[in-house]
Structure 1
Amino acid sequence: MDFSNFWSTVWLFFWCFAFVAYLFALFAIIGDLFRDRSLNGWWKAVWIIFLIFVPFLTALIYLIARGAGMAQRSQREANQAQAAVDAHIREVTNASSPADEIAKAKALLDAGTITPQEYEHLKSTALGGRTA
């Protein structure tokens, strides 16, 4: 390939871009194949074999035939990940600090609901299991 003229360089960049785009599509397809629980193992193996031996045509056929399901599976996985993150954030923000736990235990002690020994136990638990 002659790199002396401008259009050869543009052509090289175009093919590099096309190759990288194909790799992204290929990894998305393989990820979708293993994420799809409705497709049995033999069909997954057939898709993989065709992706190895006839890569461009198979990728195009897969994206046309299964593209809508691919988007739905990806959206479902993103929603599940977001729900897990939201649940974790709610769990962390609802957790009270050791000072809050000790204040609650002190209020129970002052009200006569718990004994001084129980208060010390709750206090040491709030402080991470350290004994006073």
Structure 2
Amino acid sequence: MVGYVNLAYDYPVLGAFWTAMWVFLWVMWVILLFRIVADIFRDDTMSGWAKTGWLLLVLVLPFVGVFIYVCVRGHELGRREAQHAQAVRDEFERYIREAAGRGAEAAGVSEVDQLAKLSEIRARGDISDEEFSRAKEKILH
């Protein structure tokens, strides 16, 4: 048992810190690389040849290619990301509205039926006139 040494003594805290930092930097580098590749494909202003050139530069010389890309086209990176997120959000909302509309039509409930039911609810006093007008606007639009 003389040759037994605890790992904590062979790997000091500063070594663990440096290892954690290098792993963190490596993960950040991979995330940045994937974001840039996605941005290259997402950009509609570039031609196919320009996309091919940037992609080759980023994949063949990753460190230099990424730094050049960020310097040259980095100011538009956030704008394109926001536009993509907005387009996805709009498409999702359109799908939800379409699916909700199909659900009411599939159930055989027309706008007239919905308005009649809404009037009954108001007549019972379950909703106020203001709530009735808001719900009526939603049904008619």
Task: Tell me the TM-score normalised to structure 1 length.
Answer: 0.66
Gaps of 5+ in 2: 1-8, 114-141
1:31-85 deviations in whole A, cap 9, x for unaligned? 1101112112222222222223321222122122212222121111111111111
Give the counterpart of 2:45 among 34, 38, 60.
38
Within 1, Cα distance between the matches of 2:109 and 2:53?
A: 59
Task: Tell me the TM-score normalised to structure 2 length.
Answer: 0.62
Within 2, Cα distance between the matches of 1:52 and 1:3?
A: 38
Give the counterpart of 1:25 among 32, 36, 41.
32
RMSD of aligned alpha carbons: 2.5
Does residue 1:5 correspond to 2:12, yes or no? Answer: yes
Does residue 1:49 correspond to 2:56, yes or no? Answer: yes
Gaps of 5+ in 1: 105-132
Number of residue-to-residue matches in the alignment: 103
Percent of residue pairs bearing the same amino acid type:
25
Q: How does 1:33-112 map to 2 (within 5 A)?
A: 33-94=40-101, 95-96=103-104, 98=107, 100=109
1:82-101 deviations in whole A, cap 9, x for unaligned? 11111122223334152536
